[in-house]
Structure 1
Amino acid sequence: MTDTPTPCDLLIEAGFVVPIEPHGVVLDDHAVAVRAGVIVDVLPITAARAKYAAKETVSRPDAVLMPGFVNAHTHNPMTLLRGIADDLPLMTWLQQHIWPAEARVMSPEYVRDGATLAVAEMLRGGTTCCNENYFFPDVQAQTYHKLGFRAMVGLPVIDFPTAWAKSDDEYFERAGEVHDQWRDDAFIGTAFAPHAPYTVSDASFERLRMLSDQLDIPVHCHVHETVQEVEDSLKLHGQRPLARLDRLGVVNDRLIAVHMTQLTDAEIRLCAERGTSVVHCPESNMKLASGFCPVEKLVRSGVNVAIGTDGAASNNDLDMFGETRTAALLAKAVANDAAAFGAADALRAATLGSAHALGWGDRIGSIEVGKQADLALVDLSAIETQPLFHVLSQLVYACGRQQVSDVWIAGRRKLADRVLVEMDIDAIRANARQWRDHIGVQ
C-alpha cells in the first residue's frame, strides 16, 4: 500500500534554492511546494516528487529559486521621467528640472501609466514588491492591485500644494481615505510618506506620528540625504534632522529612513536602539553625489538595512540585481574592508531586510513554510555566469536581471520564460513613447 500524494497547486524544482533564512544557505536540487499562494514545503526534489501531486510543475535544473526582490524605496511613476535631467546635484535636479516637469504632467493618468511601466520592468528583473513614495496613492493602489503586484503605497505629506492636495488638512484627510480603502487588502499596504525633514513641518510630523501609532503603519521618509540638508537643519532648527525627528517622536521601529548618507556613530546607535530601518539607495546617491551610507557600520550595530533603487529619474533603472551589487561593492570601499557586507548580507538586505523594513518580514522576503510564494527563478546557465562555483557570489557579483526567467507573486505566475503574463509589453512601450512626446524636455 502506497501513500496517496498530497495535492498542491505548484511545485517549483530548481538546481539551487536560496531561502535567505537561514542566512547564507544554498539548498542543492530542492523544490518548493505551493498551495493557495502560500509556501507549504521546501524539500529535496526526489522527496517532493514522491510527496506531492502538483497541478503544475516547473523544473529548472540550471536555475536558482530565490525570494522576489523587495524594492524598499522607489518613485515608480517617475519611470516616465527616466533620463530627462542627468548629471546634476540633488537640489538643482529637483528644483529646476524634476519638480517643474512633474507640475506639467502630474495627473492620475501619469501615475497609472508610470506605475504600469515600472511593474513591467520590475517583474522582468525579479522584483515582486515595492515601497512606493509618490502622489495619487489612490491611483497607485488601484494600479498595483489590478496588476497583482505587491506594494506598500506611500500617503504623501509635504508643506506645499500639489495636484494631490492643497493644504495640510487635505493631505491628512486624503491619506485617511486611501488607508481606509486598502487597509484589509492582501497585496496593498499603506505608509505615511512625509517627503523629507526640510519639506515637512514639526506640526505635520507630530500629527503623522500620532496617526502612525494609532493605525500601526510605517513612516517612509528621506532622511540625511545630503550634507546641505544637515547644514540647513542646523541653521533653521538648531538640530540635525534625525535629532529633530527624534524630538518629535518619529524615530522608532516604524520609521523607514531612506538614504542616510550623513550619519554619526551616535546616530547609528540611536537607530539601533529605536529599531529604525535604513534603506540604502547607492546608485541614486552616487549619481546625485549625495554621499555614502555607512552600511557596514549600520549592520554591525544591529540596524536593519534594506535596499531600494529610488526612482528611475535618478537611477536610471529599477534593477535590484544592479542595486544589490553596487551596495555590496560600495560598502567595502566605504568601510575600507573587502570583507564588509558580503554577498549573503547584500542579498538578505534586498529581500528579507527590505521586507522587515515594510513590516512584512513575516509574510515575504524569504522562502519559508507559511510565507507568501513571492518567488523568482534565475537562470545561471548563461555564459556570463559560468563557471559556477558559489551561487550567492554569482547572484550578487555576476548575474544580470535579464537572467530572470520566471516570477510568481502569491503563487501566481507573473513572468513565464521571460514573457510577462497578463501584460501587453508592446502597448506599454507605445504608451511610454506617447508620454515622451507629451513631456518633452524644456
Structure 2
Amino acid sequence: MRLLLVPDVVLLPEGPVKDRAVLVQDGAFRAVGPVRKLTDAHRDARTVRLKGHLLMPGFVDAHHHLTQSFGKAQAFGQPSEIFKTVWEPLEHALDEETAHLSAKLAALEALRGGFTTAADAGTRAPVDVGVVAKATEEAGLRCVLSKVVSDGKGGKEHLERFHGSRLIHPSLAIPVPENATAEVLKKTADLCADAGAVFQIHVNEHLASVERSLKSVGRRPVSYLHHIGALNAHTLGAHATLLTPDEMCMLADTGAALSYNPVASAWKGNAVAHALMWRAMGIRFGTGTDGTRGDGFRLVDAAESTQRLAYGMMSGDSSCGAGSTWLTHATGLSADALGLGEVTGEVAVGKAADFLLVDLRVPELTPSYDLSWELVRLAGRDQITAVFVDGKLRLWNGWPTDWDGPALVREAAEVGPRVVRRARILRVDPDPDGTSRHPRRPRP
C-alpha cells in the first residue's frame, strides 16, 4: 500500500517543519516534501490527514537488556555494581519460555514509550538468543541483537544468522573487557568491523569497574581496548561515565561510539557521562535506557537534565545543547552509533519507515514556541497516538494492533515474581533497622 501521510508538523533532521507530507511504501519513506507537491505527484496513494499531529522518527535505544524486565524494581536503592547481585541471578533463572516472555514484555514497553529500535547488549540467560529475536519480531520492535562471545565461540555464525529478517540486526558482545582474553576481544572487534555490525561492551561504568580493570589487566577499560586494538568505528561502549581526557581522545580518534545512559546514572551510578564534552570532541554517541524505563520522552528529558545538573550549572551553560541536540542523539545519532545510520533514525527518503504520530493538541504544548525544546521537556508517551516500525502500524493508543498486549502483561504479572523468587536475588537494605525513620517527638 502507498500511504501519503499529511501531519501538521514533521520532525526532519533540520528540525520541526510544517507543510510537509511523507510517502510510505514497502516499509520505507519513498518521498518527503511540500504537501501540494506530493499530493499532486501521488494521487493514487491513500492520503491520510493527521490534524494536530507531529510525525517524528521513532526513538532508538542504544543500550538495553531485554531479558531483565522482570527485575527492574529489584535494582532500586541498590549499590552501583548490581550485575552480580541482581542481573546475573535473574537471567540465570530464565528458561526459553520465560526469556521469551521477558523480552516481549520489554519490547512492548519500549514501543509504548516511542522506541522503534532497541539494542540488546547480550543476555546471560542459558538460552539461545533466537528466543529474544522471536519475541521482538512478534512485538514489532527493530532489534540490534547481541550474542555474548566471551569464550570466542559462535560469533561468525551469529552474525550470519538473521540475513532474512527485516527487524533483527546481529551484533556481538562481551559484557566487560576482563571477561575475555585480549585475543578474543580483538578477534570480536575485527569480526564486527568486517561484518558491518557493532561490538557491544560495558566500559568505565563506575568506580568498581574501573578498579577491577586496573587490577586485572593493568589499564582502564577504554585504554585497554585501545591498547589491544579492539577500539574501532564498530565498537559501541556502554555508559563510559568515568573517562579521562586521554580516553576521550582515543574514542574520538578511532571513531568508536558510546551509549549515554542518563537514567542509569541517576538510578545506580556514581557519575554522569560528560556527553556535552563528547559532542564537542566529535565522539559519536546515542542515548540508551539500560533497561531502566522504556520511555523515549523521559529519556531525552533525563539526557538534558543530567548534563545541566552535572556540568551546565557549574559553568553557567543555560542551554546544555538545547532541545534539538537531545532529540537528534536519541534518534538519528543513536541509529548511527548502532551501525544503522543508513537504515533508520530519520524521516528521510530511503530509510525505514520507523516513526511516531504524536498528538500536539494537549495543554502541555499549548501555546507552542519551540517544539524541539518542548518535546524534550514537556512531551510524554501518553501523547503517542501511533507507532510504526518498518512501515507497519504496531501500536495504536499504546496497545498492539495485531496481538493481545494486555494478555501478555497479565501473564508477566504472574510469571515474573516466580522467576525472581527462583533467582534468589541478593538485595542490600540500606536501613535494615529502620533507624532513619524516627517518629516525630512532641515539642516540650
Q: Structure 2 length normalisation: TM-score?
A: 0.89
Q: Which of 371, 394, 400 is residue 414 of structure 1 equivalent to? A: 394
2:284 matches 1:292: no
- Whole-Å Cα distance in 2 between the matches of residues 375 and 86 of structure 1? 32
**Runs (4+) off by over 6 Å:** none
- Whole-Å Cα distance in 2 between the matches of residues 50 and 415 of structure 1? 30
8 Å contact from structure 1 (residues 319, 401) kept in 2: yes
**1:130-279 superposed matches below 5 A:** 130-135=118-123, 136-158=128-150, 168=151, 172-173=153-154, 175-279=155-259
2:38 matches 1:38: no
2:87 matches 1:87: no
8 Å contact from structure 2 (residues 156, 191) kept in 1: no
Q: Please report how far the alpha carbon of residue 253 of structure 1 lies from its aligned counterpart in structure 2 after TM superposition.
A: 0.2
Q: Which runs of no fewer than 5 residues in structure 2 stay unpaired? A: 425-444
Aligned to 1:47: 37
Q: Which runs of no fewer than 5 residues in structure 1 stay unpaired? A: 1-7, 159-167
8 Å contact from structure 1 (residues 331, 341) kept in 2: no
8 Å contact from structure 1 (residues 295, 341) kept in 2: no
Distance 1:216 1:48, change over 3 A: closer
8 Å contact from structure 2 (residues 297, 380) kept in 1: yes
- Whole-Å Cα distance in 1 between the matches of residues 73 and 167 of structure 2? 30
Distance 1:242 1:10, change over 3 A: same
8 Å contact from structure 1 (residues 12, 59) kept in 2: yes
- Whole-Å Cα distance in 2 between the matches of residues 55 and 215 of structure 1? 37
Q: Which of 111, 120, 132 is residue 108 of structure 2 equivalent to? A: 120
CA offsets 1:61-106 (integer angstroms, 9 cap, x no match): 2111111111111001211222123111122x22223322332x22
Give, as a single letter, the amino acid of the residue that structure 1 aligns with 2:258. Answer: V
- Whole-Å Cα distance in 1 between the matches of residues 342 and 195 of structure 2? 18
Aligned to 2:11: 18
- Whole-Å Cα distance in 2 between the matches of residues 147 and 319 of structure 1? 16
- Whole-Å Cα distance in 2 between the matches of residues 240 and 310 of structure 1? 22
- Whole-Å Cα distance in 2 between the matches of residues 56 and 121 of structure 1? 30
Aligned to 2:428: none
Give, as a single letter, the amino acid of the residue that structure 2 aligns with 1:395. Answer: L
- Whole-Å Cα distance in 2 between the matches of residues 181 and 96 of structure 1? 32
Distance 1:123 1:388, change over 3 A: same
- Whole-Å Cα distance in 2 between the matches of residues 241 and 419 of structure 1? 41
- Whole-Å Cα distance in 2 between the matches of residues 402 and 360 of structure 1? 27
CA offsets 1:332-387 (integer angstroms, 9 cap, x no match): 23332222222101000000111101111112111111111111111121222222
- Whole-Å Cα distance in 2 between the matches of residues 244 and 54 of structure 1? 58
Q: Please report how far the alpha carbon of residue 123 of structure 1 lies from its aligned counterpart in structure 2 after TM superposition.
A: 1.6
Aligned to 1:3: none
- Whole-Å Cα distance in 2 between the matches of residues 202 and 144 of structure 1? 32
CA offsets 1:417-438 (integer angstroms, 9 cap, x no match): 4442112122111111122341
8 Å contact from structure 1 (residues 157, 195) kept in 2: no
What SS is found at the alignment partner of 2:320? Answer: coil
What SS is found at the alignment partner of 1:84? Answer: helix
What SS is found at the alignment partner of 2:331? Answer: helix
Q: Please report how far the alpha carbon of residue 270 of structure 1 lies from its aligned counterpart in structure 2 after TM superposition.
A: 1.4
What SS is found at the alignment partner of 1:83? Answer: helix
2:294 matches 1:318: yes
Distance 1:214 1:33, change over 3 A: closer
Give % identity.
26
Aligned to 2:88: 99
What SS is found at the alignment partner of 2:171? Answer: strand
